[in-house]
Each structure stands twice: as structure tokens, then as C-alpha cells.
Chain A
Amino acid sequence: MIHRQAPSGPAQALADALAAEYAAVFAYAPIGVRLTDAARTAARRAEAAHRARRDALVLQLSAAGGPVPADKAGYALPFPVTDAASALRLAVEVEERTAAFWRAALPHTTGADRNRALAALTDCAVRATRWRRTAGVTPVTVAFPGRPD
């Protein structure tokens, strides 16, 4: 997984968000194979959403002319995914962590960029809520999505 530090500026904030999206896309592969039926469909949709954010960020950073971080071959998962329960737990964690990167981008962005960051933060937070509900975790919401503990 990617560990979050306060970004130094707008380019760093978006590059960090891109690294988080790469890791999220990576994590949804082992998550998906451990789930069935509606949960598996939800995992596929979540993965597609993270791919779309990833692709938009690559375009955005390329257009800005700055460095575009490359994807890695693999990312360390915080715990092994061995069954549906651990898959759901990881899905919640992936969304919470990715939300934190998008939240950290908000102070470094303005206008359309900030609205995109807010939309991404919100999407992650809503998916985390859905995964908590699927996993039977209560409460299904947190007071400050994306805020570091």
C-alpha cells in the first residue's frame, strides 16, 4: 500500500493521489476473486471507477507537463486476503486510504481540479460505506471521511 505524507504542492498532491489509485486498482484484483455475486460485481465496478480516476490523473498530470509517477508491478497489501471477510475488510481499507489522498489534495487545488478531488473523495467515502454495510460493520459511516486518525 501507499503511505501518506502531507504533499508539498499541487503536483505532489495529484501524484500521490495517482499512486493511491494505482494501488487501489491493484488491490481490487485479489478482493474480487474472493467475493461472489453482488459483492463481486460491486468490486468490479469499484475497480473500474479507480481505473477511470487513474486514467484521468495520468492525462491531467501529462498535460501539466510535470512528472507522471509510473505504476508498479505490485503493492504490499496490509494483510493477506484469504476469504470473503478479509476481502471486504481490505475493500473498506482501500477506499478509506484512497479517500485520504484525495482529501489531502483539496487544499492544493482550486476550481475544476478541486471539484474533481472532492468528487473522488466522496466516491471513495460512499464505497467505503457500502463495503462496511456488506461486511456487516457498524456504524457504516465515519464522521470525517479521509481525515487522518
Chain B
Amino acid sequence: MVLTCPVARGRTTQHDRAPGHSRRNLLRAGALLTLGGAAAPLTGCDLFDREEPDPAPDPLEPLAAEARELAARHRAALAADPGLAGLLTPIAEAHEAHAAELATLFGRPASASPGGPSAGASAGGDRAATLADLRQAEQRGRESAAKLCAGAPAGRAALLGSIAAARATHVEALK
């Protein structure tokens, strides 16, 4: 990246650009040769084409993923049983709001939603079983949020506390 930028910069014509590319390719080939198998993750692309490596994942990313997964569970349950919309829609929206709020902490957009809940959306199943599944998922979610709140830096403790408390209220609402 450092080596190729000055070469490519300022070249405007197609004709002039071509040597820049071949120089880049040369550098890339050379780098591959010299580094060889010793630095397996450092491919030519990583060395020359990327701005910055991805930052380490934030410790709260699993909580954001869990919030999206819980939202998807509720959405799936109310799709299967629209009579539950009044109860489940605000809960799904709360999880979505939690995921969005956590994403602002990470300083980058939230990663893609999970495809959908692996369990819980027992379409056509009875309502009591659906609510019991959701209640269990909320209880697990409450525990994971409370655990993260306990060890979080001061700047994150209030948000995590609200998320843990919200999940506890979901357990109550689903009774």
C-alpha cells in the first residue's frame, strides 16, 4: 500500500496507468516470492490493496447478534401466529433498537442479520409452546446481557443494564 500509492498517484492517462499496474503486479509477485509460505495470511492483496485490516471484533458483537436473533425469533413467531402481533411486535422492535444502539458503539454498520432462528418458529404449533420457547430465549438473553453489564467499562454499563432489564421485562410480558 505504501509502496504503490506514490507510483499510481498523479497518473491520469490510460497509457501512463498501465505501467503503474504492472509495477504493482511485479511488487505483488515479488512480495509473494519473498514472503513465501512463511506469512500465510499476508497475501498480495492484503499487502497492497487494502486500506486497513479489519479491526478486532468488539466484545459486544455477540450481544448485538443475539439481539438480532431474538428479534428474528419474535418476527417468525408472529408471522406464524398474527394474533400475537400486539404482544410480540414491541418486543421485536426493542431487540432491533438494541442491535442498532450497539452498532453505534462499534462505529460501523451492523453485520448481516442471521438468516433466521434455528428453533422456536414452530409454525402452526400451539401458542403456549411458542411463548414458552420465546420466554426461555429471553431468559438466556437476559443472563448474557447481565454478565456483560457486570464487567463492562463505565461508558457501556448503562446501555447494557437497560438491555438486560428489557429482556427481563420480556420474560414477564410473555408469561
Chain A residues close to B by CB (< 8 Å): 99, 102-104, 106-109, 111, 114-115, 117-118, 121-122, 124-126, 128-130, 133, 138-147
Contact = CB atoms under 8 A, between A and B. Distances in A.
B93 to A, nearest CB: 7
A147 to B, nearest CB: 5
Nearest to B89: A139
Given A141-B91, A141-B169, 11 more contacts: A103-B165, A118-B146, A129-B169, A129-B172, A130-B172, A141-B166, A143-B93, A143-B98, A144-B159, A144-B166, A146-B165
B169 A126 contact: yes
A118 B164 contact: yes
A129 B173 contact: yes
Contact of A125 (B91, B154, B159, B165): B165
A12 to B, nearest CB: 14
Query: Max chain B CB contacts within 10 Å: which of A114, A139, A143?
Result: A143
Interface of B: 86, 90-91, 93-94, 97-98, 101, 142, 146, 149-150, 154-155, 157-166, 168-170, 172-173
Contacts, number: 92
B162 A141 contact: no
Given A138-B86, A141-B90, A107 B166 contact: no
A106 B90 contact: no
B162 A107 contact: no
A122 B172 CA distance: 11
